[in-house]
Amino acid sequence: METIGIIGGGNMAEAIIKGIIGSGIYKARDIMASDVRPERLEFLAKEYKIKTTLNNEELVAHAKVLLICVKPQNVKKMLDGIEGKTRDNTLVISIAAGITTTYLAQRLSNCQVIRVMPNTPAMVGEGAAALFSANASRESVDHTLKLFSAVGRAVLVDKEELIDAVTAISGSGPAYFFLLMEEMVKSGVKMGIPVDIAEDLVYQTAKGAGVLAKQAYARGESPAELRRKVTSPNGTTEAAINVFGQLNLGDTLFAGFERARQRSIELSREVENS
């Protein structure tokens, strides 16, 4: 099998490595990763038995599929080092937030380019990823969907601007849930619940709600329908939800999501104009 090269050895890269080996899409011997940190590469080589290198040029010389897993602000420097050195028709998959396929295709003109926005639950095999193809073949799109399905769920969108919205909703989404959990624990403690018990209750509630929502989704039920089922007239849940409505929680959340979407757009401009 052709080698898949992964530039950047962070948590998301590790999640993908673990997923594609575990699913049998690639064998460890067909994976090569690069990073600026020798100790990180040593860990990945020891843990997953993959090939590693500090040299991106060496990596792209071997890779028929190239996965870009570096931070957006490091993309330009990374591309400076590999531009003109990639193999013809290489499939380039970028998970760098905000970096457009137009920019990548200009810099790597002999390659197929796909942009993906995954999220951190990929580290436990429960990720959500959306991808947009600039110029890739159907075979390459299907292969990319297969790669990210190995660490969760993957979907295809037909407009690149939707990736910025995906970044705001599911890419950054886990942090919103973590923030809600954090505030629920704090509130429980304020009400007198010991912190360890508050944490236990909140974490299990989050897990249970997620499982319920996923099962309901499979049946065609929406979160709104689930919420109505647990909101008795004049009950405690309704009392809390009424307060959230009075405080315009929906508008507040949308304002945050929209700011995240705009920041994704800004990132691309910062890189492309630097």
The pTM assigned to this predicted structure is 0.91
CATH code of 201's domain:
1.10.3730.10
pLDDT tens for residues 22-60? 999 999 999 999 999 999 999 999 999 999 999 999 999
Same domain, 22 and 136: yes
Residues whose CB falls within 8 Å of the CB of residue 7, separated by 6 or more in sequence, listed in order: 33, 34, 56, 59, 66, 67, 68, 69, 70, 78, 82
Same domain, 142 and 79: yes
Domain count, the chain: 2
Same domain, 154 and 179: no
User: Does any domain span residue 233?
Assistant: yes
Same domain, 17 and 88: yes
**123 and 11 Cβ atoms separated by less than 8 Å:** yes
Query: 48: burial class by Cβ within 10 Å (0-12, 13-18, 19+)?
Result: middle
Same domain, 208 and 153: no
C-alpha span between 98 and 24 (Å, rounded):
30
Of 158, 189, 210, the one marking the end of a domain is 158
C-alpha span between 48 and 35 (Å, rounded):
15
User: Does any domain span residue 105?
Assistant: yes
Same domain, 212 and 90: no
Of 108, 132, 158, the one marking the end of a domain is 158
How many CA atoms lie less than 13 Å away from 31 in the CB half-sphere? 28
**104 and 130 Cβ atoms separated by less than 8 Å:** no
* pLDDT (average), residues 109-126: 94
Mean pLDDT of the chain: 95
pLDDT of residue 268: 83
Q: Which domain covers residue 180, as residue numbers?
A: 173-266
C-alpha span between 255 and 208 (Å, rounded):
28
Helix axes 11-22, 138-149, angle to 10 degrees: 100
pLDDT tens for residues 124-166? 999 999 999 989 999 999 999 999 999 999 999 999 999 999 9
Residues whose CB falls within 8 Å of the CB of residue 222, separated by 6 or more in sequence, listed in order: 216
Same domain, 262 and 146: no
